[in-house]
């Protein structure tokens, strides 16, 4: 009997959590990482995956997606997209609410090969349509939302609320934030908040965020809830929030990522904590496409590759409280792996403001491993 079921051989191992950036082979047994070495013997494995000339990285974790297909207008099929993009864990962010969460679990999460976890929407109906999910007050029930999170401990990570102009009709977004925080406090879980297109400044919102809460769409291009002041500098309230443990996530989406804001924030010493795609039905054919495309934009903005990988592997794993087993390739970790290539050329990469960045590098997935088995290969 072979010592390993699979060896990924000959690649450059890039595992920021374990400070590994160089030649390395990964041996897998029983669905977990069993060995990491510069040179494992291929004869010790039942199967070998040749990763020569490629980067071997932990399976990508997309912290912001929408995968409740056929129930929400936003939903996509996770198993169609994730294997070929190296995303082994997809986090659905509020597509289902406390009324219909069990449907997401039963009809999407349980049958999918992709690992899917989720934040439960404060609105009971989730996101069936583009807007207005909290117009009807009866849908906004913090106690029921908290109960739904607690009733599904294996899949539900916390609470999601979109705080954009008009989401609750005439309701003040400050009041809706308090209701979302009530739900999160009741279940003692993190809150993720969508801030783009908000009509309330971050000075009024961020002081209420708790350690572990998540600001998604942090580099959106809107003016009112911008992370930047009128001089293009990062707001002190954002720095204060980060200092106490608030997470700032990209959540590219159809209208929520601006190169200009990203450049200014990073030049001011404020990179994102996590890089996510917010991929859904309205942007999967552009400008988002997938998580590797979003990551490529940061590579071409000058972020070092290892830092980009870090923000799509171990950092989201820490954010969702799964860093012991996900987001890295240490011995004993779940054997989720992405084999990536950094292609050279000229690539047009568009942000949500329709600015096109002509990049010279692009990350593409060449193979993926899920739970120790080859899931997809080019």
- Share the mean pLDDT of the chain: 97
Output the pLDDT for position 130: 87
Residue pair 97/145 in contact by the 8 Å Cβ criterion:
yes
Residue 342: inside a domain: no
What pLDDT, in 10s, does the model give residues 218-258?
A: 999 999 999 999 999 999 999 999 999 999 999 999 999 99
pLDDT band for position 61 (50/70/90)? very high
Residue pair 94/162 in contact by the 8 Å Cβ criterion:
yes
Q: Give me the domain span that covers residue 303.
A: 59-319
Phi, psi of 81 (to 5 degrees): -95, -45
Residue 377: inside a domain: no
What pLDDT, in 10s, does the model give residues 137-168?
A: 999 999 999 999 999 999 999 999 999 999 99
Residue pair 60/313 in contact by the 8 Å Cβ criterion:
yes
**Residue 312 DSSP SS3:** coil
What pLDDT, in 10s, does the model give residues 10-22?
A: 999 999 999 999 9
What pLDDT, in 10s, does the model give residues 314-341?
A: 999 999 999 999 999 999 999 999 999 9
Output the pLDDT for position 173: 96
Residue 122: inside a domain: yes
Residue 214: inside a domain: yes
Output the pLDDT for position 1: 73
| 3-class DSSP string for 224-262 | CCCCECCCCCECHHHHHHHHCCCEEECCCCCCCCCHHHH
What pLDDT, in 10s, does the model give residues 260-277?
A: 999 999 999 999 999 999
Distance CA 120, CA 146 (A): 9
Output the pLDDT for position 231: 97
Residue 249: inside a domain: yes
What pLDDT, in 10s, does the model give residues 174-195?
A: 999 999 999 999 999 999 999 9
CA 351 to chain centre: 17
Phi, psi of 265 (to 5 degrees): -65, -45
Q: Percent of the chain having pLDDT more than 90?
A: 99
Residue 180: inside a domain: yes
What's the domain count of the chain? Answer: 1
Output the pLDDT for position 312: 99
Query: Domain holding 163: CATH number?
Result: 3.20.20.140
What pLDDT, in 10s, does the model give residues 93-123?
A: 999 999 999 999 999 999 999 999 999 999 9
What pLDDT, in 10s, does the model give residues 351-372?
A: 999 999 999 999 999 999 999 9
Q: Are strands 337-350 and 191-194 parallel, antiparallel or unpaired?
A: unpaired
| 3-class DSSP string for 202-233 | HHHHHHHCCCCCEEECCCCCCCCCCCECCCCC
Residue 337: inside a domain: no
Listed in sequence order, the DSSP H helices in the chain are 78-81, 101-104, 142-151, 173-187, 202-205, 236-243, 259-267, 291-300, 305-310, 314-319
Output the pLDDT for position 115: 98
Output the pLDDT for position 363: 98
pTM attached to this predicted model: 0.98
Residue 41: inside a domain: no
25 pLDDT higher than 80: yes
């Amino acid at each position: 009997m072979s010592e390993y079921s699979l060896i990924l051989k000959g690649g450059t191992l890039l595992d920021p959590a374990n400070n590994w950036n160089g030649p390395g082979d990964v041996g897998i047994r029983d669905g977990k990482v069993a060995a990491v070495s510069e040179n494992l013997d291929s004869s010790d494995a039942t199967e070998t995956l040749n990763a020569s000339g490629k980067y071997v990285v932990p399976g990508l974790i997309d912290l912001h997606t929408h995968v409740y297909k056929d129930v929400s207008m936003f939903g996509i099929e996770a198993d169609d997209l994730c294997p070929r993009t190296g995303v082994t864990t997809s986090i659905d962010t509020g597509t289902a609410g406390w009324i219909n969460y069990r449907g997401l679990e039963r009809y999407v999460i349980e049958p999918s090969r992709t690992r899917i976890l989720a934040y439960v929407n404060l609105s009971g109906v989730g996101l069936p349509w583009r807007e207005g999910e909290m117009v009807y007050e009866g849908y906004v029930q913090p106690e029921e939302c908290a109960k739904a999170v607690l009733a599904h401990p294996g899949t539900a990570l916390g609470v999601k609320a979109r705080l954009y102009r008009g989401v609750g009709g005439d309701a003040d977004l400050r009041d809706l934030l308090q209701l979302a925080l009530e739900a999160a406090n009741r279940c003692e879980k993190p809150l993720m908040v969508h801030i783009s297109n908000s009509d309330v400044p971050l000075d009024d919102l961020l002081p209420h965020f708790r350690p572990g809460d998540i600001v998604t769409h942090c580099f959106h291009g809107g003016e009112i809830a911008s992370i930047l002041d009128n001089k293009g500098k990062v707001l002190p309230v954002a720095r204060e929030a980060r200092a106490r443990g608030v997470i700032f996530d990209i959540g590219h989406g159809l209208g929520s990522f601006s190169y200009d804001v990203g450049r200014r924030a990073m030049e001011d010493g404020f990179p994102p904590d996590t890089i996510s795609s917010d991929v859904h039905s309205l942007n999967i054919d552009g400008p988002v496409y997938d998580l590797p495309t979003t990551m490529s934009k940061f590579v071409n903005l000058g972020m070092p590759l290892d830092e980009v990988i870090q923000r799509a592997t171990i950092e989201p794993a820490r954010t969702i409280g799964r860093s012991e087993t996900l987001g890295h390739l240490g011995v004993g970790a779940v054997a989720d792996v992405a084999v990536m290539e950094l292609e050279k050329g000229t690539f047009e990469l568009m942000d949500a403001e329709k600015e096109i960045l002509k990049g010279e590098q692009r990350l593409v997935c060449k193979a993926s491993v899920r739970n120790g088995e080859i899931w997809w290969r080019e």
